[in-house]
Amino acid sequence: MNNSSHNKDHNLKLLCKILFSELGYVTHYEVKLRTKSYIQALRIHDISDVDVYGCTFLPDMTFQCIGAECKSGESNALDELYKFTGVIDYFHIDKGYFIKKRIHQNARQVAEKKNVSCYSEAELRKLLLGFNMDIKKQMRIEQARYAKLQNSIKAQKRINEKMVDYLTVDYWNKENWRNIHNIIHLLRKQKSGDLFPETDIQQKMFCYYILELFALSVLKNIGEAMLVSFSDIDQALKVTLYGGADALSEKQKIYDSVNQALGENKMFAPLWEDDFVNLSSRFSDHTKDSSKTIHLLQAIREDAFYSNKVEIKPSLFRNYSDLTRKFVQDLMQFLSSHSQIDIKIYSEFMNI
């Protein structure tokens, strides 16, 4: 792809991100779809991606997600659409958006049956104008937000490559309960003092990004536990934290067998499990407030970081309850207590 096409695709992604935000979703760019091949020693293949991914929770903790494919060309709309509908099915996306410079009528007819909305760039801009916004100004804002996060990730890649690789690729291809275990594991394995110096704004932003994705998995886990048994939420949380009752039973059997063979008596549950269940149970008692934690965390990351400081302004909390703020602080405290992250990293928010 030449630079001109790349820039046009990127502009479409920015426009789509603006739309998703206006619709009430938290957003992520270029979510990669990865699979493993059992040929050639389990090689990993990146087979596709979602250009813009949006997700949210309803007040009852029901999870909803949307995704967009953004293409600048004028041909092959139907072929690209068929590929995108496959990605939608694989990622369990509730609704798709297909954005392209020109989309022929036959592709639009197929899209309608697949719950995909089609917009040319001109149509998308017309839609956004109806939201009474200055599109050029908002695109500059979104580009600045995008660049800040990408620079933060690039800077952290040199320091914490395993965590960067996990969050940018593996995270989106794992079950949410695995993400909870894996993020805590990766954070616990780092040496004290190596993580997130207070004066490093890029690393601090990356720390907020970790918390944002961790919160997303926590909320998904709570929503699933509520469906398992809302009346016995603590037990349901423990079950979903291991992928379900059958998976939990099998893991316990294997663990007991290993303990017996080695003559050890190690605990099956991680040290952080009780705190996690307690935290999640409190979230489940106030689903409307807890469902907004990911929105608040993304708003902090996008709007409170500057070149040399973090400034959290009162206007940032206009759409959030005091309890939502408290839940974000609880998440910060939990991660700090069970990893090498110093709570001072979140000082600007913890001191509110």
- What tokens appear for 307 in the block? 């070149």
- Residue 127 and residue 159 in one domain: no
Distances (CA, A) of 6 to 32, 143, 181, 212: 17, 14, 36, 28
- When computed from its CA atoms, the radius of gyration of the chain, rounded to whole angstroms, is 21
**The last residue of a domain, from among 133, 162, 197:** 133
CB within 8 A of 344, min separation 6: which ones? 198
Q: What CATH number does residue 21 fall under?
A: 3.40.1350.10
246: left (phi over 0), alpha (psi -120 to 50) or beta: alpha
Distances (CA, A) of 133 to 19, 42, 66, 130, 136: 11, 48, 22, 8, 9
Is residue 273 assigned to a domain? yes
pLDDT at 263: 76
Per-residue pLDDT in tens (0 to 9) along the chain, 352 residues: 555 566 778 999 999 999 999 999 999 999 987 655 444 444 544 557 899 999 999 999 999 999 999 998 778 899 999 999 999 998 899 999 999 988 888 899 999 999 999 999 999 999 999 999 999 999 999 999 999 999 999 999 988 899 999 999 899 999 999 999 999 999 987 654 445 454 589 989 999 999 999 999 999 999 999 999 999 999 999 999 999 999 898 888 887 888 778 777 777 889 999 999 999 999 999 999 999 999 999 999 999 999 888 999 999 999 999 999 999 999 999 999 999 899 999 999 999 8
- Residue 269 and residue 209 in one domain: yes
Is residue 346 within 8 Å of 297, Cβ to Cβ? no
- Residue 159 and residue 214 in one domain: yes
| Beta-bridge partner residues of 64 | 56
- Residue 166 and residue 311 in one domain: yes
d(CA 330, CA 245): 28
Is residue 139 assigned to a domain? no
- Residue 254 and residue 329 in one domain: yes
**The last residue of a domain, from among 65, 98, 133:** 133
pLDDT at 74: 78
- Residue 275 and residue 248 in one domain: yes
pLDDT at 34: 66
Owning domain of residue 269: 145-350
User: Dihedral through CA 25, CA 179, CA 152, CA 164, nearest 10?
Assistant: -140
- Residue 201 and residue 337 in one domain: yes
Q: 169: exposed, middle or buried (C-beta count within 10 Å: 0-12, 13-18, 19+)?
A: middle
| pTM (2 d.p.) | 0.92
Is residue 251 assigned to a domain? yes
pLDDT digits (tens, 9 = 90+) for 321-352: 999 999 999 999 999 999 989 999 999 999 98
Is residue 140 assigned to a domain? no
- What tokens appear for 59 in the block? 């007040």
- Residue 114 and residue 203 in one domain: no
pLDDT at 254: 86
- Residue 47 and residue 181 in one domain: no
Is residue 154 assigned to a domain? yes
Backbone angles phi, psi at 71, to 5 degrees: -130, 135
Is residue 40 assigned to a domain? yes
Is residue 138 assigned to a domain? no
Distances (CA, A) of 249 to 150, 218, 238, 239, 306: 41, 22, 12, 9, 48
Give the amino acid at 274: D
pLDDT at 3: 58
Q: How many domains does the chain have?
A: 2
CB within 8 A of 134, min separation 6: which ones? none
pLDDT at 193: 44
- Residue 14 and residue 107 in one domain: yes
Other C-beta atoms lying within 10 Å of the C-beta of residue 10: 16
- Residue 212 and residue 265 in one domain: yes
Is residue 279 assigned to a domain? yes
- Residue 176 and residue 325 in one domain: yes
**The last residue of a domain, from among 80, 102, 133:** 133
